[in-house]
Amino acid sequence: MSHLYKSVPVRSSEITPKQVYLSRRDFMKAATLATSAALLAACAPSVTAQPQDAGPVPTSNATDELGDMVNTYSDITTYNNYYEFSTDKQSVASLAKDFKTTPWTVEVGGLVNKPKTYGVEDLLKLFPPEERIYRLRCVEAWSMVIPWEGFMLSKLLKAVEPTSDAKYVRFETLLDKKQMPGTSSPFYPWPYQEGLRLDEAMNDLTILATGLYGEDLPAQDGGPIRLVVPWKYGFKSIKAIIKIELTSEQPATMWSSIAPNEYGFYANVNPGVDHPRWSQVSERRIGEISRRGTLLFNGYGDQVAHLYDGMDLTKNY
């Protein structure tokens, strides 16, 4: 997909391009069924030794617009906040390994003229994804640079035609207790839900992401489809979306219902407003040793500061 990404093998046995590798896996299945010694001999023995989904690991030398390198594929896919699976970031990937991302539909409704339920494959056809390299700043004060693929949420919202009463957009994550072990915890008011003001949702920076590093969005990163709002703390960027609803009232959000004094509706990245339990002045970029200063609006002020003209960002945090 993206010319910026090369598949560089980490092991010599992974040199095979992904398509060839996958067809070889299919071939292996066929070969096993056929139980033909000749066929099996024709397969490279190394293939049989590979773990199920060991494909080439994508790498990239791309940077964000500030010149910072994108994080590695491994950083982005093994250090995840996704409470439906686990509160332990490093356990999410393995717990989400078999999460079923197809078929998948997103219901778009509420205060719109043309409500519609879209299959993800329809969305990809209607709104071909483009690459967006964004910083992600978690409210816990770590950050990454992530090469997403996605499309502007505004395109989808325009297609359903919000009515003049629509002022907010509400998002909801799938709640499937069978697939998501973390959702048996009664502490959290599942399903995960989030919200944006309509003008925030319509901003050009706001995307629905469907890919990462030129590949399908992995389950642990919110696949098959998640929101990315790069100037807000990471918890606004809700994963595995099944429902988008236009509303007249500000929607409830998971984190602001759990701890309204700690997590506001706006949640704009702001080094000038501390979390009640820690400072937001600096952050730990995953992969770096020393901390770096946190930027107002996560460095996207030119594109979004105008949305908050006249608002006191220390009160509306």
Binding-site ranges for ligand MTE (CB under 6 A): 80-84, 136, 138, 173, 192, 221-222, 234-235, 237-240
**Closest residue to ligand MTE using C-beta atoms:** 234
Residue 132 or 232: which CB sits closer to Mo ion? 232
CA distance 52 to 198: 43
CA distance 170 to 189: 15
Residue 84 or 215: which CB sits closer to ligand MTE? 84
- At its nearest, how many Å lie between ligand MTE and the CB of residue 277? 15
Interface pick for Mo ion out of 70, 138, 144, 180 (rule CB under 5 A): 138
- At its nearest, how many Å lie between ligand MTE and the CB of residue 116? 22
End-to-end CA distance of the chain: 38
Residue 162 or 211: which CB sits closer to ligand MTE? 211
Q: Can you read off the two tokens belonging to residue 310?
A: 């006249």
Which of ligand MTE, Mo ion, none interacts with 136 (beta carbon under 5 to 8 A by kind)? ligand MTE
Q: Residue 230, interface with Mo ion (CB under 5 A)?
A: no
- At its nearest, how many Å lie between Mo ion and the CB of residue 211? 21
Beta strands in 156-249 (DSSP E): 168-173, 193-197, 207-212, 215-216, 226-228, 241-247
Which residues are CB-contacts of 145 (< 8 A; sequence separation ≥ 6)?
63, 64, 68, 69, 70, 71, 133, 134, 135, 136, 285
Q: Residue 225, interface with Mo ion (CB under 5 A)?
A: no
Residue 81 or 270: which CB sits closer to ligand MTE? 81
Helix runs in the chain, H state only: 18-34, 37-42, 45-49, 73-78, 92-95, 120-126, 153-160, 198-202, 254-258, 301-304
- The residue length of the chain stands at 317
- At its nearest, how many Å lie between ligand MTE and the CB of residue 234? 3
- At its nearest, how many Å lie between ligand MTE and the CB of residue 82? 5
Our measurement of the distance from residue 2's CA atom to the centroid of its chain's CA atoms, rounded to an integer in Å, reads 18
Q: Residue 81, interface with Mo ion (CB under 5 A)?
A: yes
